Amino acid sequence: MSAAVQSPEVTLSSTGVTPEDVIAVARHGAQVVISAEALAGVERVRAHIEKLAHSETPAYGISTGFGALANRHIPTDMRTQLQKSLIRSHSAGMGPAVEREVVRALMFLRAKTLASGRTGVRPVVVQTMVDVLNAGITPVVREFGSLGCSGDLAPLSHCALVLMGEGEAAGPDGEIRPVPELLAEAGITPIELAEKEGLALVNGTDGMLGMLLMAIADLKMLLTTADITAALSVEGLLGTDQVFVPELHMELRPHPGQAASAENMLAVLANSPIVASHRVGDSRVQDAYSLRCAPQVAGAARDTVDHALMVATRELAATIDNPVVLPDGRVSSNGNFHGAPVAYVLDFLAIVCADVASIAERRTDRMLDPARSHGLPAFLAGDPGVDSGLMIAQYTQAGLVSDSKRLAVPASVDSIPSSAMQEDHVSMGWHAARKLRSSVENLRRVLAIELVTATRAIDMRTSMSDGELLPGPAGAAVLEVLRATVQGPGSDRFLSPELEEADRLVGSGAIRAAAEKATGPLN
């Protein structure tokens, strides 16, 4: 999924970047420029490191080893080798390569911290990282290796190794080729790391933060789409829109997300003949929870995303390194690399994905069951018994929901001590981020299946009523977009491509855009 690019160029300054900047670089290849002010600040702070490097007093990571080996003083003539050894030894990831957008976010966020003037690197280090990004070179970062404490050590080390002219990387075409060849083609000279620079390149929460920011962007769009598909399910099931009126929400239960979702659903259902038909001659007093409580669930999800964005914005403003150079020139050790703040909200969002997917699946199942669908044929089949209709689509949806429930088990409650018990409590934030990406994908697919089901139900209502039971303008606009590439009711056919196409339309934002043609901008 994607968000709109704000500009073709993003500037790194000492004051940081925005979530939109991260998305632009990670997903859309926006070029990165470092401001002259930031480079001057980096140069100025480097002078403090040079002074400490030539001092008789040991300074962690500058003239000593790292982690559990921090007590060893390293002679001047061995410090370049120390930096190389750090990066090489920490590039110990295993498993499949993570996605290109994740690596680009990781590198951009690290460059942001390097440009802050608090890490003590030379300007050439941050410039080389930006040059690699701008050249479209993507280091190969492996799935396993980070514990989310001392930062995303292994993932960032794999990136730093490429800056040294070593390791694995893919070119702009996605093909993995020798790193020296890729750098030479781009006119990039590999860097020779000096004191402190190895640590500065790897001590950050950048991988988990990048994945958090992209998940938030995706969920903002998906939760609005969930309001749309829920409203279409209300139409498909002859439900009422009266539970979504504003006086039942902010005035009685002031959760802003709930009010926003209810407003969206009411807008999508506006002027719907199907909904209007429910108001006369219907003995039902209340709809099922999966319809009536849709704003409460999706709204709680929205509020959780807002909390996650608050945490992400704070982390985006942070300078994560150890040791860090303070404004007065002191170089001080700290624990800011611990990923707990980010890890917690990554886990919260996995819970959100599972529950929003769960309630969507319940609405889908209700439309397929003739005992609960208020007159629709079994499984919305063309000829029930001969045809199976959407029976197995719901199986697929149930499998996705079950997987999401497993992924909702928090990673951040786990900790396995490392580095000879020096790092005796870790966040597992990288793992929380990796499973959240799967959760977001599952939610998108679940909503795609609800979309296919609800629109088929609406089409059947219209057909069965000789054209009297029509969807509202928003539902009609969604149907028009979907039906351009996905067929409506009929005999059984190869269903998987249609579900994949619906998934593409949901992920691209086309379904939301279609509804908004009728409703105006939705929350």
Distance CA 15, CA 326 (A): 15
Whether 60 is catalytic is yes
- Cβ within 8 Å of residue 210, ≥6 positions away: 22, 26, 102, 105, 106, 108, 109
Helices (H) and strands (E) in the chain, counts: 19, 9
- Compute CA 202 distance to the chain's CA centroid, rounded to the nearest angstrom: 22
DSSP class per residue in 451-502: HHHHHHHHHHHHHHTTT-S---HHHHHHHHHHHTTS--S-S----HHHHHHH
How are the residues of the chain apportioned to helix, strand and coil, as percentages rounded to the nearest 5? 55, 5, 35
CA distance readout (Å), 271 to 235, 267, 470, 473, 519 = 11, 9, 10, 7, 11
CA neighbor of 434 nearest in space, from 135, 120, 148, 12: 148
Active-site entry in 60, 289, 344, 395: 60
Residue type, 62: I
Q: Around 339, how many Cα atoms within 13 Å sit in the side-chain half-sphere?
A: 36
CA distance readout (Å), 483 to 364, 476, 495 = 19, 10, 14
DSSP class per residue in 227-283: HHHHHHHHHHTT--SGGGSGGGTTTTS--HHHHHHHHHHHHHHTT-HHHHHTTSS--
The pair of three-digit structure tokens given for residue 343, joined into one six-digit string:
């890890």
Distance CA 107, CA 12 (A): 13
CA distance readout (Å), 428 to 20, 152, 334 = 26, 10, 19
- Compute CA 438 distance to the chain's CA centroid, rounded to the nearest angstrom: 9
Q: Around 516, how many Cα atoms within 13 Å sit in the side-chain half-sphere?
A: 12
- Compute CA 68 distance to the chain's CA centroid, rounded to the nearest angstrom: 34
Dihedrals φ, ψ of 201, to 5°?
-80, -20
Tokens 């998305």 map to which residue? 23
Burial of 242 (0-12, 13-18, 19+ CB in 10 A): middle
Distance CA 210, CA 335 (A): 20
**Residues assigned a catalytic role:** 60
